[in-house]
Amino acid sequence: MLDIDLRFEDDIQELYQLFDQFNQSQIIGIARENQPVYRHLLWSYRQENPHTHVGSPPPDGITGFNSGVLLLDLTKIRQSILFNNYLENSNLIEQLLIKYHFNHPHLGDQDFYTLISFEHENLFYLLPCYWNRQLCTWWKGKGYDDVWEKYYHCNNEENIRLYHGNCNTPIPNKIIHKKMEF
C-alpha cells in the first residue's frame, strides 16, 4: 500500500522482493518515522518511564512508524490471531492508548501500527529508510534540535530508492548521472 506523494527511483519489484526477508512472525513491512512525532506525543509516558526506548531515536529507540509505504502480507495478516484481536477488539487499542498516555492520535493507521509495535515489535519488518525517504521537516526547530538529526538521518542517503514528499514537501528533481565519454 502506497501513499500518493511518492516517487520511485528504483524498480518497484525491488520493494516487492523485501517480502522474502520477512521472518515467520512479521506480517507488515513499514519504515520508521523520521521525525520526533512520537517522542512529542508520548511526552507524558516518557516522563513517567525515563528509561524507555519508546519514542526515542534510532538506532536503539522505538521511533514509531510512517505508513507512507506498507508491505502487507495479507495471508499472514488474516492468519495472525494477535493482530486480528487488535482489529476486532477496540478495548485492546484503548488499553494501549491509556498505557502510553497517547491522548491525541491523529495519524490513523500509522498510530495504530505504532501503538501495536510498542508491545509486539515482532509483527513488523523494518523497511530500510531508503525505501521511504521522508522529506518532511516540520518538526525541525520545534524544540527537538538535540535529537532531530538522529530521527531524520538515513544511512544510505546516496542510494534513495523511494522519496516520500510527506507534509506537502517537494520531492527533489531527479538527478540523472550521464556517463561522459572522451
Query: Looking at residue 50, what DSSP letter applies?
Result: T
**How many domains are there within the chain?**
1
Q: In sequence order, what are the residues at sequence separation of 6 or more whose Cβ sits closer than 8 angstroms to the Cβ of residue 31?
A: 65, 66, 68, 69, 126, 127, 128, 129, 131, 132, 134
Residue 88 inside a domain? The answer is yes
Residue 52 lies in a domain: yes
Give per-residue pLDDT as tens, 3-38: 999 999 999 999 999 999 999 999 999 999 999 999
Examine residue 100 and state whether it is found in any structural domain, yes or no: yes
Number of residues in the chain:
182
- Is residue 173 situated within a structural domain? no
Could you give the C-alpha distances from 93 to 38, 85, 102, 169, in angstroms and in order? 16, 10, 11, 31
Model pTM score: 0.89
62 lies in some domain:
yes
| Band (147; pLDDT cuts 50, 70, 90) | very high
Structural domain of residue 38, as residue ranges?
6-168
